[in-house]
Amino acid sequence: MTTPLPSAWLACRLRRPEAPVRLFCFPHSGGSVGEYVRWADALPDIEVWGVQLPGRGARAEETPFTRMRELVDTLVAKVDFGTSFAFFGHSLGALVAFETACRLRDLGRTPPGWLFVSAAPAPQLPLRGIPASHLDDDGLITALESSYGELAVEMREDSELRELLLPGLRADLALVESYRHEPHAPLACAMTVTGGTQDDLTREELESWRVHTTGPFDFHLLPGGHFYLREQKEPLLHLLHTVSRRDLKP
């Protein structure tokens, strides 16, 4: 497999050029790549990369995107994903990963061989919840409490943390609120959809991803809420490792 060009969009904790597969992880709203690139410790035969968007993590001072098409067009112009790779996206990251996969395919470039969608409703479904990106800081934190829990409390109490995280979170909400699904031909890759049993996403919202691939489709629920992937890291990574070995060919 080819080596990705150095890019501010990518982070990798452990380079494994001999690995048969790369996994590119797209973080959740307001998230950075840190927790995802650490997965490399438990995935010794996969090279794990994080996709770092502007306005988050090490790129916190850059202007974030608020429109999906502009974000995806810029991403695919800046990043060479190689020829044998998979995408993992959690929450908003699942939507960005899906749209990136479709854009690569439509441009005649190599799409991912496998798409792992986590805790996100299928893109053709109506927008969930009430738009919140326009709210003032206190209102926005209140709107985030149901999903972000302790982090929302910390932002309310810590002005520096609030100033660091809220711009990216606000931009991510705008990405979702402005998103309009445009029908695509289904992808041909394998797709695995997962969610938490205590999340407010319904099984129907998750299983509705099925129409977006003609390849193998798996669906799994793991114990936990919207961020079940932290509580269930070991079983999630076991699933990721098993499915990637089964469905991806070097």
Q: Rounded to whole angstroms, how far apart are CA atoms 2 and 73? A: 21
Ramachandran area for residue 2 (φ above 0: left; ψ -120 to 50: alpha; else beta): beta
Q: ∠ CA(130), CA(131), CA(132), 5° rounding?
A: 110
- For residue 234, give both structure tokens: 């070991």
Question: Of the residues 29, 91, 147, 244, which is catalytic?
Answer: 91
Q: Which amino acid is at 75?
A: L
Cβ atoms 85, 112 nearer than 8 A: yes
- For residue 2, give both structure tokens: 């080819």
Cβ atoms 123, 109 nearer than 8 A: no
Per the annotation, the verdict on 91 as an active-site residue is yes
Q: Which of 175, 3, 180 is nearest to 74 (CA)?
A: 175
Residues identified as active-site: 91
